[in-house]
């Protein structure tokens, strides 16, 4: 993953330097450079997708993984062509934007519960156990409540160390949104947010930091983006969903979570899905852009390139790239809705997509 | 003569730039911190609360002030014997020998290692070692962070102290030797007293660096936003919380982080001022 980022940066640098010289005639239709910024959660997907799109003749896109909050700020200041966020904008945030903002879901990410218990590779957790462990009320791995859900499991007499994100993050937001839905105690004590007032445990920076800390610390448990746990081969717990099934985190069980009714602006959290085959801690991740793209000195070329990029991102080809880097593809209903929303994006009142 | 005037003008301009820069930093920190202080008043400084959940937002800097002060002082305490003896070794006992030359370059090498590398070393090498001693469960906490901080500031304190010690006039030492003093006596009754203020200054500079250190601390301290409950308990420092949280911060939280930055600025300034006072008293 890191290598590909470095390579991408090198490619960007090369492309940028070569752009400066030529300018007039190149093989490509138009030399448009787009800038985008935001969430780090889907960054591995975006980096790869944008690179492939550029190789196939699309615009050059530089994506800054500065966090969802930074992305929203950048879009508000109109310094990016589009932004990316893991948490949809609240009504207040929408009201603060200088123009109407459209949310386009691009893929589904899941937050998994990864653990490091010597000799244990499979663990089943219920919402009650998650509440007890993450609020610090269940302190030992061989607690009777854990054993009751995992009969026959040989689990050592070891203290539980909770690992959480020390930085504000969409991952924390998704996990806490789920916990708030399933636990009233959680709702009272911590609530939902990108950063929380954790009662116990240790914080690590970024998904890679959490993955590394769990891997290095026996007796630890934490939440992190699926692709990071998958890449580091850290065991992940099966979580009991709203229908009472213990669901393994897989791309199919993530996509299943989004197969329900989605509001027309796609601003919805799909955690704790009612679908019996759905993994419960999942979320859309969105690209956000203005509905009317003629603002400031934003050119028509840039507007067209931005919309076609996002359209491509929600299409089949890019969705296949998403699954190759362990993000779940959009289900059909969400993909259709994304396409519908993109048709409504205009430049000087005229739809950008023909 | 005009060459002189040009030089004078240039020097004046560059010092003015420094002045404007510092003033600008203070002004923007104050401006950014204002909403947090308006909301919480002086309670911001003494409250250990840090609750970013929307609706029940409450911010206080005490946990981070405590974390910063404890780790830095602890690092300084660990650093003093190491740096002090190494600098004596380099600049007095083995002065001018090849051993001292090698040691000096090694110390300089330590100073050149980036903070993140110290963090990695602490995370993958030192922490498991501490866990193996059985003193701590996971190895994250104030003590681990302080230990790595101490190692990070040793080269600064050592280089500076060695420089100061080697500047003690040879006549002084020769006079003491001629009176029959042993090497130990010369060091403790001549070299150290005459280099005292410089040595103290070097440790204060090292402390200043420890106060602001970010990456290595963030990787090892456990990032729990509470006042550390013990030496081996997790905590957080001012620099570390800013680095961790400002990416996704906005509104009141952003202001609270800037306010933490302002307090860190003030604490560092205070330490430097105290350092100057101490130097004045002993010099």
Cβ–Cβ gap B53/A159 under 8 Å: no
Residue B165 lies in a domain: yes
CATH value at residue B233: 1.10.3720.10
My answer on whether B171 and B32 are in the same domain is no
In sequence order, which residues have a C-beta less than 8 Å from that of residue B234 and are 6 or more positions away?
A: A201, A202, A203, B140, B141, B142, B221, B222, B223, B224, B226, B228
Q: What is the arithmetic mean of pLDDT over B199-224?
A: 92
Q: What is the arithmetic mean of pLDDT over A76-80?
A: 93
B192-212 helix and B251-282 helix, angle to the nearest 10 degrees: 180
Q: What is the pLDDT of residue A4?
A: 53
**pLDDT 10s digits, B69-93:** 999 999 999 999 999 999 999 998 8
Domain boundary, last residue among B12, B31, B51: B51
Closest CA of chain A from B112, distance in Å: 24
My answer on whether B44 and B98 are in the same domain is no
My answer on whether B181 and B249 are in the same domain is yes
My answer on whether B19 and B70 are in the same domain is no
Residue A168 has pLDDT above 90, yes or no: no
My answer on whether B116 and B26 are in the same domain is no
* Residue B40 touches partner A, C-beta closer than 8 Å: no
Nearest CA to B58 out of A191, A200, A174, A169 is that of: A191
**pLDDT 10s digits, A15-60:** 444 443 333 333 444 578 999 999 888 888 999 999 999 999 899 9
My answer on whether B116 and B94 are in the same domain is yes
Residue A129 has pLDDT above 90, yes or no: yes
* Residue A54 touches partner B, C-beta closer than 8 Å: no
**pLDDT 10s digits, B218-257:** 999 999 999 999 999 999 999 999 999 887 788 899 999 9
* Residue A168 touches partner B, C-beta closer than 8 Å: yes
Residue B57 lies in a domain: no
What ipTM score was computed for the predicted complex, to two decimals? 0.82
Query: Alpha-carbon torsion B18, B22, B25, B28, what sign?
Result: negative
My answer on whether B13 and B134 are in the same domain is no
Cβ–Cβ gap B245/A201 under 8 Å: no
Report the residue of A165, A194, A208, A211 to disrupt the B interface, i.e. the one with the largest count of B CBs within 10 Å. A194
Chain A residues lying within 8 Å of B137, measured CB to CB: 159, 161, 219
* Residue B137 touches partner A, C-beta closer than 8 Å: yes
> In sequence order, what are the beta bridge partners of A61?
A34
Q: Name which residue leads in pLDDT, A40 or A278.
A: A278
Query: A6 pLDDT band (50/70/90 cuts)?
Result: low
**pLDDT 10s digits, A95-114:** 999 999 999 999 999 999 99
A67: left (phi over 0), alpha (psi -120 to 50) or beta: left
Q: What is the pLDDT of residue A3?
A: 53
Residue B2 has pLDDT above 90, yes or no: no
Q: Percent of chain A having pLDDT more than 70?
A: 92
Structurally, chain B folds into a number of domains equal to 2
Residue A329, class by beta-carbon neighbours within 10 Å (0-12 exposed, 13-18 middle, 19+ buried)?
buried
My answer on whether B123 and B193 are in the same domain is yes
Q: What is the arithmetic mean of pLDDT over B174-191?
A: 92
Residue B58 lies in a domain: no
Nearest CA to A38 out of A2, A80, A98, A90 is that of: A80
Q: What is the arithmetic mean of pLDDT over A313-341?
A: 92
Query: A9 pLDDT band (50/70/90 cuts)?
Result: low
Burial A139-168 (b: 16+ CB within 10 A, else e): eebebeebeeebeebebeebebbbbbbbbb
My answer on whether B102 and B19 are in the same domain is no
Chain A residues lying within 8 Å of B253, measured CB to CB: 195
Cβ–Cβ gap A191/B218 under 8 Å: no
My answer on whether B70 and B22 are in the same domain is no
My answer on whether B7 and B79 are in the same domain is no
Distance CA A67, CA A250 (A): 25
Residue B21 lies in a domain: yes
Query: B3 pLDDT band (50/70/90 cuts)?
Result: confident
In sequence order, which residues have a C-beta less than 8 Å from that of residue B227 and are 6 or more positions away?
A: B48, B62, B63, B66, B67, B235
My answer on whether B40 and B159 are in the same domain is no
Distance CA B130, CA B196 (A): 35
* Residue B125 touches partner A, C-beta closer than 8 Å: no
Name all domains of chain A by residue range, CATH numbers in brackets: 25-108+283-351 (3.40.190.10), 110-282 (3.40.190.10)
> In sequence order, what are the beta bridge partners of A285?
A107
Distance CA A309, CA A306 (A): 5
Residue A14 has pLDDT above 80, yes or no: no
Nearest CA to A4 out of A64, A56, A51 is that of: A51
Q: What is the pLDDT of residue B279?
A: 77
Cβ–Cβ gap A197/B52 under 8 Å: yes
Residue B15 lies in a domain: yes
Q: Which residue of A has its CA nearest to B50?
A: A197
**pLDDT 10s digits, B23-45:** 999 999 999 999 999 999 999 99
Chain A residues lying within 8 Å of B53, measured CB to CB: 190-193, 196-197
Nearest CA to B239 out of B262, B273, B255 is that of: B262
- Indicate the pTM of the whole model: 0.84
Mean pLDDT of chain A: 89
Residue B93 lies in a domain: yes
Closest CA of chain A from B37, distance in Å: 20
Cβ–Cβ gap B223/A203 under 8 Å: yes
Residue A147 has pLDDT above 90, yes or no: yes
Residue B36, CB-side half-sphere exposure with 13 Å CA sphere: 30
Residue B272 has pLDDT above 90, yes or no: no
Cβ–Cβ gap A198/B138 under 8 Å: no
Cβ–Cβ gap B56/A191 under 8 Å: yes
B-contacting residues of A 197-236, CB under 8 Å?
Answer: 197-198, 200-205, 209, 212-213, 216-217, 219-220
Cβ–Cβ gap B224/A198 under 8 Å: yes
Residue B56 lies in a domain: no
Mean pLDDT of chain B: 92
Residue B44 lies in a domain: yes
DSSP for B79-95 reads HHHHHHHHHHIIIIITT
- Structural domain range at position B37: 2-51
**pLDDT 10s digits, B49-68:** 999 887 788 999 999 999 99
A-contacting residues of B 78-117, CB under 8 Å?
Answer: none
Residue A256 has pLDDT above 80, yes or no: yes
Query: Alpha-carbon torsion B41, B44, B45, B46, what sign?
Result: positive
């Amino acid at each position: 993953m890191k290598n590909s980022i470095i390579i991408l940066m090198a490619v960007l640098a090369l492309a940028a330097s070569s752009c400066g010289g030529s300018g007039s005639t190149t093989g490509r239709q138009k030399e448009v450079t787009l800038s985008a910024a935001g969430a780090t959660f889907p960054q591995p997907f975006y980096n790869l997708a944008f690179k492939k799109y550029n190789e196939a003749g699309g615009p050059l896109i530089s994506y800054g993984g500065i966090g969802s909050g930074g992305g929203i700020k950048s879009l508000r200041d109109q310094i990016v062509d589009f932004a990316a966020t893991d948490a949809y904008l609240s009504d207040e945030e929408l009201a603060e934007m200088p123009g109407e903002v459209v949310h386009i879901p691009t893929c589904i990410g899941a937050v998994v519960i990864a653990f490091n218990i010597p000799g244990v590779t499979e663990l089943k957790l219920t919402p009650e156990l998650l509440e007890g462990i993450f609020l610090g009320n269940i302190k030992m791995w061989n607690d009777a409540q854990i054993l009751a859900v995992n009969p026959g499991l040989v689990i050592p007499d070891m203290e539980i160390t909770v690992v959480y994100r020390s930085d504000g993050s969409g991952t924390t937001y998704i996990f806490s949104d789920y916990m708030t839905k399933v636990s009233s105690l959680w709702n009272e004590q911590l609530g939902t947010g990108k950063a929380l007032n954790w009662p116990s445990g240790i914080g690590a920076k970024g998904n890679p930091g959490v993955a590394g800390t769990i891997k290095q610390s026996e007796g630890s448990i934490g939440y992190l983006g699926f692709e990071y746990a998958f890449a580091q081969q850290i065991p992940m717990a099966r979580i009991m969903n709203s229908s009472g099934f213990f669901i393994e985190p897989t791309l199919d069980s993530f996509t299943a979570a989004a197969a329900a009714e989605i509001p027309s602006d796609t601003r919805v959290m799909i955690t704790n899905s009612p679908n019996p085959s759905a993994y419960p801690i999942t979320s859309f991740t969105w690209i956000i852009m203005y509905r009317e793209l003629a603002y400031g000195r934003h050119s028509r070329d840039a507007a067209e390139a931005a919309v076609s990029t996002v359209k491509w991102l929600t299409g089949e080809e890019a969705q296949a790239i998403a699954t190759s880097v362990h993000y779940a593809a959009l289900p059909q209903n969400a993909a259709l809705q994304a396409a519908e929303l993109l048709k409504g994006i205009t430049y000087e009142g005229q739809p950008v997509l023909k | 003569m005009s060459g002189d005037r040009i030089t004078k003008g240039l020097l004046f301009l560059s010092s003015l730039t420094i002045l404007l820069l510092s003033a600008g930093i203070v002004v923007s920190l104050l401006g950014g911190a204002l909403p947090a202080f308006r909301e919480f008043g002086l309670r911001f400084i003494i409250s250990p609360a840090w609750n970013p959940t929307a609706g029940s937002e409450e911010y206080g800097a005490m946990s981070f002030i405590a974390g910063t002060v404890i780790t830095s002082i602890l690092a300084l305490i660990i650093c003093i014997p190491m740096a002090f003896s190494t600098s004596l070794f380099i600049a007095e006992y083995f002065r001018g020998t090849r051993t001292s030359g090698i040691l000096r370059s090694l110390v300089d090498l330590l100073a050149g290692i980036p903070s993140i590398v110290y963090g990695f070393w602490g995370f993958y090498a030192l922490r498991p070692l501490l866990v193996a001693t059985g003193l701590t469960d996971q190895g994250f906490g104030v003590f681990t962070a302080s230990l790595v901080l101490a190692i990070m500031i040793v080269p600064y304190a050592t280089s500076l102290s060695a420089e100061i010690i080697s500047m003690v006039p040879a006549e002084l030492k020769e006079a003491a030797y001629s009176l029959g003093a042993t090497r130990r006596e010369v060091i403790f009754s001549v070299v150290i007293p005459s280099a005292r203020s410089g040595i103290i200054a070097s440790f204060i500079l090292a402390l200043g660096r420890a106060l602001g250190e970010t990456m290595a601390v963030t990787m090892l301290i456990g990032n729990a936003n509470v006042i550390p409950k013990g030496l081996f308990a997790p905590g957080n420092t001012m620099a570390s919380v800013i680095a961790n949280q400002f990416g996704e911060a906005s509104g009141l939280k952003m202001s609270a982080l800037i306010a933490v930055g302002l307090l860190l600025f003030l604490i560092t300034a205070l330490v430097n001022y105290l350092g100057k006072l101490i130097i004045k008293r002993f010099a």
